[in-house]
Structure 1
Amino acid sequence: MSQPPSDRISRNVRGGRPPDPGAAATATYDTAAGQDVDRRARPELREHQAAFTTGSRRDADAATLRRAYARCRRTAAVHGRTYYLATRLLSAGQRPAVHALYAFARMVDDIVDGPALRQAPAAVLDSVELALRTAWSPPSVTTPPAPPRSCATTSLDSPRPGALPAEFDEIAPALTDTVTRFAIDPRHFWTFLDSMRMDAPGSPLFRNRYPTMAALDEYMRGSAAAIGLQLLPVLGTVVPRAAAEPAAAALGNAFQLTNFLRDIGEDLDRDRIYLPADELAAFGVGEELLVYCHRTRSTDRRVRRALAHLIAVNRHLYRRAYPGIALLSPRVRPGIRTAATVYAAILDRIEDNGYDVFARRAVVPSHRRLRLAAGAALR
């Protein structure tokens, strides 16, 4: 799983401009708790936002926030080259929030697929969700937070010591500050974590094969669309947020499917296939053929035809998403357009390589990424 970008804010944000999280990281929190709550946020989010703000000021001083945002920025710069390039086109106030969301997604990705695979990734995901639910519960609530909808542990009210990743405490202040200031719906994080449980052995939701595109869409709803919906409040819109959500979700899915097409071999190494079995079968491609191609580093003609078809499906997702860029705040459109253009160019590289996804990884060269970014910025 690789998570792509999404961005947003500016003076055109519907309902006004939220406080600058970059400035917040260096400010002293000496105002009354809850003062920054956005009164224009949806009613069901106001109590959460007030709780986040109170917790942020109580638990994270300016130095802690500075370090947390700096940690998130380094993570984005090192692990998300295309993503990080796109964020350079955003305002200084938006970039810290986008980096915080990326760093959280990356941390969760590493829980499941990191270089040092954990013994019980499903239990760690449960601990992460419980920690967030506890931190984000309104202070007036004294009952324990609701456990994750689909959990692997039997006692979530007392997670095992050491279950949380070490980096969680390093990025959590920035994540909470971002969620607070932009009134991001926490449900998008629970949806995301549920999809990550689909990757985690030991979880009731675990699966490593997808029989249909509908089944794959269910996975991408959390692994990709939810990321776009998390980012949308940061980016800002010139229409009601709900009107921009379908395109934001489609762009997230388009990015994710591009990753799946590029990384077939890597996924097979993890005993996963993120392509719909029924659509592959229509071209005479089964799991055995994919494994053979991966082992021999060759691409059978049937696989080429299947990939050509799925690339067309992927491009259709980009076409559905592109009109949504015009619904975003003008300041962020070049960044999102850059991300979409550069990511879609990966599909061109797969075709240029003769659909050889097993012997080489489709990469857009740096000079081409910069040229595409410049073109997108001028549109």
Structure 2
Amino acid sequence: MDVHQYCQERAAASGSSFYYSFVFLPQDTRRAITAFYALCRELDDVVDECHESQLALAKLDWWREEIMRFAAGAPEHPATRALLDTAQGRNAPAALLLEIVDGMAMDLEHLRYPDFKSLNLYCYRVAGVVGEVAAAIFGGARNADDRAVRRYAHELGLAFQLTNIIRDVGEDARRGRIYLPQDELARFGAREADILHGVVTPAFQALMQFQFERAAACYERAFAALPASARHAQRPGLVMAAIYRTLLNEIRRAEFPVLRARVSLTPMRKLWLASKTWLFP
């Protein structure tokens, strides 16, 4: 099996906006980030496709062992083998990869989050850490800028995850999950039962406007943190930011129809945004 072809097919089949941020990269970097993305998809699918929690936890334990095999230079899965086969990917810290697995495990343990502090830990693990590993693969920072690039990556990862949460409120509710913090539902008077049954209320609209403003602020903090010296190398993340931020604005412009519909951008619009951002980051 060609492990890089496996990862390429995995990324292309996902239909994710992330795929559009890879297409302009040099081959070596593209292979590294595609392998990392394929690994994240494998972990995500454990939670999404395995309906027995004990079996899912057992699979995540296997992945913890696989990450340690990756760190030792002897992985078994095509995604981790492909990551090891790239100069930018083989140095991905095992500790960060294990944080991502722990984030996936939180999806099996929590259907609700009492406040933003607890939700933020989940977002850090499944998105902030992903952003940090991806930013390291893209490179381009001087030593003095490393901390700023990591801050940028964490803020951007958080922004992406909050955008996903807003977009997927209805879909998650149909699975019995509500990622919106429980104390914020109470603050705005939004009823959990209404969300679970797809009932749009003024209280829900106000709650979603609050979520929009938080996500928008994360994008702004991310852009402000990115050093000018790293901007060129970090273009893939900026491409993703252009796509996701446009999606977030579209959801708001449509007045948050997320309980009953999934708002998305067309492939042509994503490609246009990707091309424009790549040429003029």
Q: Tell me, yes or no, whether TM beats 0.5.
A: yes
Q: Distance in 1 between matches of 2:229 and 2:4?
A: 24
Q: How does 1:1-379 map to 2 (within 5 A)?
A: 67-114=2-49, 117=51, 120-137=55-72, 169-178=77-86, 182-200=90-108, 206-240=109-143, 241-292=146-197, 294=198, 298-326=199-227, 329-379=230-280
Q: Distance in 1 between matches of 2:266 and 2:251?
A: 13
* Cα-Cα RMSD: 2.1
Q: Which deviates the most, 346-355 or 310-319? A: 346-355
Asked if 2 retains the 8 angstrom alpha-carbon contact of 1:235 and 1:329, the reply is no
Structure number with higher helix proportion: 2
Q: Distance in 1 between matches of 2:173 and 2:21?
A: 29
Q: Taking every aligned residue pair, what percent have the same amino acid on both sides?
A: 28
Q: Distance in 2 between matches of 1:334 and 1:127?
A: 34
**2:194 is aligned with what amino acid?**
L
Q: Shift of residue 91 of structure 1?
A: 1.9
Using CA pairs under 8 Å that are at least 6 residues apart, name the structure with larger relative contact order, 1 or 2. Answer: 1
Asked if 2 retains the 8 angstrom alpha-carbon contact of 1:228 and 1:248, the reply is yes
Q: Shift of residue 80 of structure 1?
A: 4.1
Q: Distance in 1 between matches of 2:83 and 2:26?
A: 18
Q: Distance in 1 between matches of 2:40 and 2:89?
A: 19
Asked if 1 retains the 8 angstrom alpha-carbon contact of 2:84 and 2:90, the reply is no
Q: Distance in 2 between matches of 1:322 and 1:229?
A: 15
Q: Distance in 2 between matches of 1:209 and 1:277?
A: 7
In structure 2, do the counterparts of structure 1 residues 244 and 261 end up closer, same or farther at CA, with 3 Å as the change threshold?
A: same
Query: Which ranges in structure 1 are unaligned for 5 or more consecutive residues?
Result: 1-63, 140-167, 201-205
Q: Distance in 1 between matches of 2:35 and 2:93?
A: 15
Query: Which ranges in structure 2 are unaligned for 5 or more consecutive residues?
Result: none
Superimposed CA distance per residue, residues 278-307 of structure 1 (whole angstroms, 9 cap, x where no aligned partner): 122211013122113x2xxx4211111110
Q: Which deviates the most, 170-179 or 89-98? A: 170-179
Q: Shift of residue 370 of structure 1?
A: 2.8
Q: Shift of residue 271 of structure 1?
A: 1.6
Asked if 2 retains the 8 angstrom alpha-carbon contact of 1:108 and 1:125, the reply is yes
Q: Shift of residue 325 of structure 1?
A: 4.1
Q: Distance in 2 between matches of 1:358 and 1:135?
A: 40
SS at structure 2 position matched to 1:195: helix
In structure 2, do the counterparts of structure 1 residues 181 and 374 end up closer, same or farther at CA, with 3 Å as the change threshold?
A: closer
SS at structure 2 position matched to 1:211: coil
**1:302 is aligned with what amino acid?**
A
Q: Which deviates the most, 359-368 or 173-182? A: 173-182
Give the TM-score normalised by structure 2.
0.90
**1:194 is aligned with what amino acid?**
D
Count of matched residue positions in the alignment of Structure 1 and Structure 2: 276
Q: Distance in 1 between matches of 2:232 and 2:23?
A: 12
Q: Distance in 2 between matches of 1:135 and 1:98?
A: 16
SS at structure 2 position matched to 1:199: helix
Asked if 1 retains the 8 angstrom alpha-carbon contact of 2:135 and 2:150, the reply is yes
SS at structure 1 position matched to 2:188: coil
Superimposed CA distance per residue, residues 224-259 of structure 1 (whole angstroms, 9 cap, x where no aligned partner): 111011112211133322331111011011101100
